[in-house]
Structure 1
Amino acid sequence: MAHPLHFVSIEAIKEALQNNDPSLAVEKIKELLEREKNIPLNIGITGESGSGKSTFVNAFRGIDNMDEGAAPTDCDETTMEVTPYPHPNYPNVTLWDLPGIGTPDFPADKYLELVEFKRFDFFIIISDTRFRENDVKLAQEIQKLEKTFYFVRSKIDIDLQNQERKRTLSKIRENCIQGK
């Protein structure tokens, strides 16, 4: 949905062009572009606890998990409150690290209310395995809000390592059976 100010700017540009005033149209276009550049963008990073949301926030911001100002990461539930992290190169972009859905402190049936889900412009749903029931619920709620979301599959490196391990073990079994 277009922002109302965006519509007003486009109308002003059309009017300037219809009145054969290209310099005014250029001025209005520049104003529109400047305003657009400064519109805040609040991205909610959501998903189940332990899926890699905080690590994703750090990677998106181009910083290491150990750097000063990084979102804390651990194997325990770490993010216990909605936490903003500004992008270092785009001051109008804020990534919001949300607590994990489906934990005792953030049960799925109360999650949207507890994290004030409606306040974000769009979402990235992080999953470290195939998508589960809570991921689907999040996607459905975001669609109800008529907002955009992306699914991101994290920790794929672990699956690839496990697959390679599986192939290696299979080779070893086969070699044992063949007496090699």
Structure 2
Amino acid sequence: MGDPFGKEDINTFKELLQTNVAAAAAKIKAYLEEQDNIPLNIAITGESGSGKSTFVNAFRGLDKKDKSDAAAPTGCVETTMEVKSYPHPNFPNVTLWDLPGIGTINFPAAKYLKHVSFERFDFFIIISAVRFRENDVKLALEIQKMKKKFYFVRSKIDDTMRAEEQTQSEFNTEKTLSIIRENAGLRIVTLVI
């Protein structure tokens, strides 16, 4: 996001500080309060079945079995069929947007960005239930082209850990998690280069 103060704002604050400290403090406080109320639209994206809607619910503090209208619907088949907003309960200026999964018959990768109006979001969280895949790379590259930021979140890690424990003779939780983190980090660094 960068520096919250513009050059003009800083000059105004400097002038006020030299003449009227109380007025400068009030002006800075008002400015910061205004900044706190800027809307932030966070898109939750990734492949179908990766746990995007579950993430939206968890981020908003809702129980995974909550079936109220406030919860994003989840399911064992493609469930999110339209872009839907979910306000954060504690931060009224923050809205999470649950996007349909990329790369399905209903939302092919070639048409996905236009279909979900990808450019309208301020920040992105790419959810993946497995390794960083081609569609995740496509999303990350598009986000970078727009000069916006994203986080890559690996979901369903408990399933991965259980499978590793069943197949590895010398299973080590910390070592496995370290390998996963390193692998995801290397992929993201590769995108930046």
Structures share a fold, TM > 0.5? yes
Instruction: Name the counterpart of 2:145.
Output: 144
Instruction: Name the counterpart of 1:15.
Output: 15
Q: 8 Å contact 1:52–1:126 — kept in the other structure?
A: yes
Structure 1 residue identity aligned to 2:105: P
> What's the CA shift for 1:66?
2.5
Q: Separation in 2 of the partners of 1:156 and 1:9?
A: 46
Structure 1 residue identity aligned to 2:99: L
Instruction: Name the counterpart of 1:26.
Output: 25
Q: Report the secondary structure of 2:130's partner residue.
A: coil
Once the two structures are superposed, residues 116-158 of structure 1 have per-residue CA deviations (whole angstroms, 9 ceiling, x without a partner) of 0011110000001110000001000000000010000000000
Instruction: Name the counterpart of 1:132.
Output: 133
Q: Separation in 1 of the partners of 2:57 and 2:98?
A: 10
Q: Taking every aligned residue pair, what percent have the same amino acid on both sides?
A: 65
Matches within 5 A, 1:1-80: 6-7=5-6, 8-17=8-17, 19-67=18-66, 68=68, 69-80=70-81
> What's the CA shift for 1:2?
5.3
Q: Report the secondary structure of 1:45's partner residue.
A: strand
Q: 8 Å contact 1:47–1:127 — kept in the other structure?
A: yes
In the superposition, the TM-score normalised over structure 1's length comes to 0.87
Q: Separation in 2 of the partners of 1:103 and 1:32?
A: 45
Computed over aligned residues only, the root mean square deviation of the Cα atoms, in angstroms, reads 1.9
> What's the CA shift for 1:96?
0.2
Larger CA deviation: 57-66 vs 90-99 = 57-66
Q: Separation in 2 of the partners of 1:126 and 1:70?
A: 18
- Unpaired stretches in structure 2, ≥5 consecutive residues: 172-193
The runs of at least 4 aligned residues of structure 1 exceeding 6 Å deviation read: none
Aligned residues: 167
In the superposition, the TM-score normalised over structure 2's length comes to 0.81
Structure 2 residue identity aligned to 1:103: T
Instruction: Name the counterpart of 1:175.
Output: none
> What's the CA shift for 1:6?
4.4
Q: Report the secondary structure of 1:99's partner residue.
A: coil
Q: 8 Å contact 1:41–1:121 — kept in the other structure?
A: yes
Structure 2 residue identity aligned to 1:144: K
- Unpaired stretches in structure 1, ≥5 consecutive residues: 171-180
Q: Separation in 2 of the partners of 1:131 and 1:15?
A: 51
Rg (Cα) greater in structure: 1
Q: 8 Å contact 1:9–1:28 — kept in the other structure?
A: no
